[in-house]
């Protein structure tokens, strides 16, 4: 009887010891295409590459995040690194307020986030990135209780026409995009200076004239997703419930014309019209190249 | 104790356990190695780890360095992209105006050196005779100082300047270049002009070992023992190493993810010396490599390289030389080296990762023209080739492996082997080496170098770097002892603090 009790105890202890391993093994995997990411490996990579900004605890308070008001001569990061504990992510293919897919997080690692300190990690292997995604998901219990939202269905892009651009221009005014992004899309609208992110840190609206990359990608498809899903944690809302898909594509076509230093079919078509040529000419501010890659 | 605290403590304990291994290893060797020792120069050259970049981008050293100064693939891509990450911190206008991208690096250490057959005065001789002795020396010491400054002058215009000193404080410029990056918007076209390290995948400037024996890659600097024999005063000194920074123009390109890389350089034939001191010809250096992602193992890279050069065998002389004896040192006109003869260094490289273990394997094949290899001017007026002289050729191999259990610890092992495949002088078995006449064996000058070590980084930050360094290295050279022509052995042991800010 005593032996039996000891055996049962040992089995019980073994099960108890093994249980967390089994549970954690289930929690730590991600699947990106054919690649399976493992959080244990991702942890090692995180503590090589990421903790300086995102912090040991994933709270976005690494040693490089010195909030405004810190040492005045210390170069701050212009945007607080992502707080993985909050599990609020800008770049998603899922509805606002929901968790992103593994692929969304993976894509952010591949391309980096423009206008922030987050570089592209394209030089890491696919496996490395999948492992990192798996580890990032261990920071928040939200990944245990919630599932990623349904992936946004992006309809095929309609043909590019002048009418489409003009309609997009009307929507830009009607939806009051200009209030933040400014009438010429330079990120200098009347509300721009008052905007803050979910950390109560000042945040600048995107300046279309300054670059070719968007926060969450470079393509028309990416731009469509940005305003249909919103950028969670920022003042940029989702317009999924406000505009129809065909209107969203018109807006995409118009926004492309605001990138006056970036060649695109939309800009070329727009400049081919009298109205567009005059607007683009006025928007091209001449200045001295600063070495920033942007004419200012 | 929270989960995180407990995890960190476990990691620290594991690091301590691992860090003890190399210390135990070198202590064992130290206690076992009772042979005598020699005073050798402090390791030359400079090595690179640049907290200035870490400070600029706010990233820990471990992002760009597998273990500083050795680059990770991410760091290699950063370097290839002109010290740019592709984010908004690249252009200098985004930096605090007070930011100046300067880093210094220095090492303080204790070391022990041994040479088994050093040429010393014979105390019993009344005629100035000499003898061989096993000589050992040891003590506390320090390295030279490197001042690294580099970064971007504007988007896609980068620079690097490195004043470097020896341990007496005598400075020289180790690196000086500006680079036009991503020409025509393509990562395939980058042009660098100045003095720079050749595009060696296994960078000697980022070498992890610091001892006198292993502070440089022997294969990168090897020259046959028959060279620079001092027999003919018209023959200038011939020194070359692909580990030496060279002066010239480099075209380099890479894919966006840095998997594919190439470089082609045209270089002045003077081994990186300023002021055009030798000849007026140009050398070429070419590299290509391709990386592959192999499942969960990591990145595997294979590549090839070739340096094709020439060196003068005599100079144009001034009219002041009326002695009738062509003396290069006294009458040679700097920069007029002529009678150029060729040499080349070529090889293959593979860098293989198996999770936390990585191995770099290199094969070298090299040749020096018979005039260079025997120290003979290629002008009959100044000298004649030794009877039976041939081009010197040799093969080399290098295997360097690392185990990196965490960003804070790296264990290092290296083996270098050099084998002469053709001696420049005839082989006369049983006869000692006679400069300009014969060598005693086909293996004369063969060399083996073995290195073991470890580095522990007690903290990792984006501001500064510090490492505990322990290392033992041993080299064995066939037939090169100065008096008897026996084998010559060196050993070097070093423990120190390596730091950069």
Label each residue of A60-125 as H, E or C.
CCCCCCCCCCCCCCCCCCCCCCCCCCCCCCCCCCCCCCCECCHHHHHHHHHHCCCCCCCCCCCCCC
Q: Which has the higher per-residue pLDDT, B415 or B62?
A: B415
**How are beta strands B488-500 and B465-477 bridged, if at all?**
antiparallel
Provide the shortest C-alpha distance from residue A110 to chain B (in Å). 10
From chain A, pick out residues whose CB is under 8 angstroms from the CB of B299. Answer: 125
What pLDDT does B5 receive? Answer: 41
Whether the complex's predicted ipTM is more than 0.85 is answered with no
Using the beta-carbon criterion (under 8 Å), do A74 and B95 form an inter-chain contact?
no
A116 touching chain B per CB within 8 A: yes
For residue A209, the Cα-to-chain-centroid distance in whole angstroms is 19
Matching CATH number, A29-145, of 3.40.50.150, 1.10.760.10, 1.10.260.40, 1.10.1060.10: 1.10.760.10
From chain B, pick out residues whose CB is under 8 angstroms from the CB of A77. Answer: 58
SS3 content of chain B, % helix, strand, coil (to 5): 15, 45, 40
B464 touching chain A per CB within 8 A: no
pLDDT at A10 over 80: no
All residues at 6 or more sequence positions from B62 whose CB lies less than 8 Å from its CB, including other chains = A47, A48, A49, B72, B407, B460
CA gap B444, B223 in Å, rounded: 12
Provide the shortest C-alpha distance from residue B106 to chain A (in Å). 24
What pLDDT does A272 receive? Answer: 94
User: Which tens digits make up the pLDDT trace of A251-281?
Assistant: 999 999 999 888 899 999 999 999 999 988 8
From chain B, pick out residues whose CB is under 8 angstroms from the CB of A110. Answer: none
User: Which tens digits make up the pLDDT trace of B156-205?
Assistant: 999 999 999 999 999 999 999 999 999 999 999 999 999 999 999 999 99
CA gap A53, A59 in Å, rounded: 9
Using the beta-carbon criterion (under 8 Å), do B407 and A126 form an inter-chain contact?
no
Cis, peptide link before residue B209, omega less than 30° from 0 = no
From chain A, pick out residues whose CB is under 8 angstroms from the CB of B90. Answer: 293
Which of A61, A58, A64 is CA-nearest to residue A43? Answer: A58
Top-level class of domain A162-283: mainly alpha
What average pLDDT does this structure show over B81-93? 82
Using the beta-carbon criterion (under 8 Å), do B4 and A44 form an inter-chain contact?
no
Residues 61-80 of B with CB under 8 A from A: 62-63, 72-74, 76-77
Confidence bin at B9 (pLDDT 50/70/90): very low
Residues 144-183 of A with CB under 8 A from B: none
Percent residues over pLDDT 70 in chain B: 87
From chain A, pick out residues whose CB is under 8 angstroms from the CB of B89. Answer: 117
CATH number of the B3-500 domain: 2.40.160.10
Residue given tokens 């004419």 in the structure block: A295
Using the beta-carbon criterion (under 8 Å), do A53 and B296 form an inter-chain contact?
no
All residues at 6 or more sequence positions from A205 whose CB lies less than 8 Å from its CB, including other chains = A180, A181, A182, A187, A189, A192, A195, A235, A236
Confidence bin at B448 (pLDDT 50/70/90): very high
Confidence bin at B98 (pLDDT 50/70/90): confident
Provide the shortest C-alpha distance from residue A294 to chain B (in Å). 9
Cα distances from B78 to residues A122, B90, B440, in angstroms, run 11, 11, 50
B155 touching chain A per CB within 8 A: yes
State the CB neighbour count (10 A cutoff) for residue A163.
10
**Per-position b or e across A25-48, b if 16+ CB within 10 A of its CB:** eeebbbebeebebbbebbbbbbbb
From chain A, pick out residues whose CB is under 8 angstroms from the CB of B462. Answer: 52, 63-64
Using the beta-carbon criterion (under 8 Å), do A292 and B155 form an inter-chain contact?
yes
What pLDDT does B333 receive? Answer: 77
CB-CB contact of A171 with A254 (8 Å): yes
For chain B, what is the mean pLDDT? 87
Out of B56, B258, B406, name the one closest to residue A123 (CB): B258
Ordered by start, the domain boundaries in chain B are: 3-500
What average pLDDT does this structure show over B121-137? 91
Query: Hey, what long-range contacts does B192-196 have (CB within 8 A, 24 or more apart)?
Result: B192/B249, B192/B250, B192/B252, B193/B248, B193/B249, B193/B250, B194/B247, B195/B245, B195/B246, B195/B247, B195/B272, B195/B274, B196/B160, B196/B245, B196/B246, B196/B250
Ordered by start, the domain boundaries in chain A are: 29-145, 162-283
What pLDDT does B30 receive? Answer: 40
User: Which tens digits make up the pLDDT trace of B295-313?
Assistant: 888 889 999 999 999 999 9
Substitution target from B295, B296, B461 for chain A, most A beta carbons within 10 A: B296
- Four-residue CA torsion sign, A232, A233, A237, A241: positive
What average pLDDT does this structure show over A59-75? 64
Q: Which has the higher per-residue pLDDT, B47 or B339?
A: B339
């Amino acid at each position: 009887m005593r032996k039996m009790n000891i055996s049962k105890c040992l089995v019980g202890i073994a099960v108890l010891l093994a249980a967390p391993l089994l549970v954690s093994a289930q929690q730590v995997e991600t699947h990106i295409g054919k690649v399976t990411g493992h959080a244990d490996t991702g942890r090692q990579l995180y503590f090589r590459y990421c903790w300086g900004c995102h912090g040991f605890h994933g709270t976005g308070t690494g040693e490089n995040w010195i909030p405004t008001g810190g040492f005045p001569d210390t170069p701050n990061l212009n945007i607080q690194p992502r707080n993985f504990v909050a599990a609020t992510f800008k770049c998603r293919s899922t509805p606002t307020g929901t968790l992103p897919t593994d692929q969304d997080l993976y894509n952010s690692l591949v391309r980096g986030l423009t206008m922030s300190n987050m570089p592209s990690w394209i030089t890491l292997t696919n496996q490395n990135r999948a492992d990192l995604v798996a580890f990032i998901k261990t920071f928040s219990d939200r990944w245990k209780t919630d599932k990623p939202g349904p992936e946004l269905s992006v309809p095929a892009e309609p043909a590019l026409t002048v009418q489409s651009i003009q309609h997009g221009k009307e929507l830009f005014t009607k939806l009051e995009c200009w209030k933040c992004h400014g009438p010429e899309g330079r990120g200098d609208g009347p509300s721009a200076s008052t905007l803050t992110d979910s950390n109560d840190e000042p945040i600048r609206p995107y300046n279309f004239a300054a670059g070719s990359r968007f926060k969450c990608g470079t393509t028309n498809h990416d731009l469509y997703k940005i305003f249909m899903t919103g950028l969670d944690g920022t003042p940029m809302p989702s317009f999924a419930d406000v505009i129809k898909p065909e209107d969203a594509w018109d807006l995409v076509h118009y926004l492309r014309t605001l990138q006056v230093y970036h060649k695109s079919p939309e800009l070329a078509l727009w400049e081919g019209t009298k109205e567009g040529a005059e607007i683009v000419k006025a928007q091209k501010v001449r200045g001295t190249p600063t070495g920033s890659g942007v004419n200012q | 104790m929270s989960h995180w605290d407990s995890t960190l403590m476990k990691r620290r304990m594991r690091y301590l356990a691992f860090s003890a291994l190399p210390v135990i290893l070198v202590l064992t060797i130290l206690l076992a190695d009772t042979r005598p020792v020699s005073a050798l120069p402090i390791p030359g050259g400079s090595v690179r780890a640049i907290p200035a970049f870490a400070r600029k981008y706010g990233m820990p050293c471990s992002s760009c360095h597998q273990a500083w100064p050795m680059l990770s693939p991410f760091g290699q891509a950063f370097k290839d992209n002109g010290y740019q990450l592709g984010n908004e911190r690249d252009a200098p206008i985004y930096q605090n105006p007070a930011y100046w991208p300067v880093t210094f690096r220095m090492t303080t250490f204790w070391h022990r050196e041994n040479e088994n057959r050093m040429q010393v005065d014979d105390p019993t001789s009344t005629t100035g005779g000499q003898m061989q002795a096993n000589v050992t020396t040891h003590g506390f010491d320090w390295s030279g100082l490197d001042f690294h400054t580099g970064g971007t002058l504007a988007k896609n215009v980068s620079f690097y300047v490195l004043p470097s000193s020896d341990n007496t404080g005598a400075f020289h410029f180790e690196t000086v270049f500006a680079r036009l990056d991503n020409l025509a918007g393509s990562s395939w076209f980058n042009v660098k002009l100045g003095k720079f390290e050749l595009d060696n995948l296994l960078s000697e400037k980022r070498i992890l070992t610091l001892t006198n024996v292993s502070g440089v890659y022997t294969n990168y600097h090897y020259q046959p023992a028959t060279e620079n024999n001092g027999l003919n005063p018209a023959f200038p000194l011939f020194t070359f190493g692909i580990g030496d920074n060279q002066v010239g123009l480099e075209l380099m390109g890479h894919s966006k993810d840095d998997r594919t890389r190439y470089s082609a350089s045209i270089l002045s034939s003077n081994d990186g010396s300023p002021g055009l001191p030798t000849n007026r010809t140009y050398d070429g250096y070419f590299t290509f490599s391709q990386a592959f992602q192999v499942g969960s193992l990591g990145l595997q890279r294979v590549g090839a390289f070739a340096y094709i050069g020439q060196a003068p065998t005599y100079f144009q002389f001034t009219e002041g030389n009326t002695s009738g004896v062509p003396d290069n040192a006294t009458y040679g006109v700097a920069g007029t080296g002529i009678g150029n003869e060729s040499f080349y260094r070529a090889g293959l490289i593979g860098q293989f990762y198996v999770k936390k273990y990585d191995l770099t394997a290199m094969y070298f094949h090299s040749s020096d023209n018979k005039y260079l290899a025997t120290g003979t001017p290629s002008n009959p007026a100044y000298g004649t080739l030794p009877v039976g002289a041939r081009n010197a050729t040799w093969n080399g191999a290098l295997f360097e492996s690392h185990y990196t259990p965490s960003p804070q610890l790296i264990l290092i092992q290296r083996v270098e082997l050099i084998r002469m495949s053709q001696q420049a002088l005839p082989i006369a078995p049983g006869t000692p080496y006679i400069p300009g006449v014969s060598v005693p064996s086909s293996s004369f000058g063969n060399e083996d170098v073995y290195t073991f070590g470890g580095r522990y980084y007690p903290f990792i930050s984006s501001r500064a770097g510090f490492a505990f360094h322990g290392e033992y290295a041993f080299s064995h050279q066939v037939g090169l002892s100065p008096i008897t022509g026996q084998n010559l052995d060196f050993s070097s042991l070093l423990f120190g603090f390596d730091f950069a800010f």
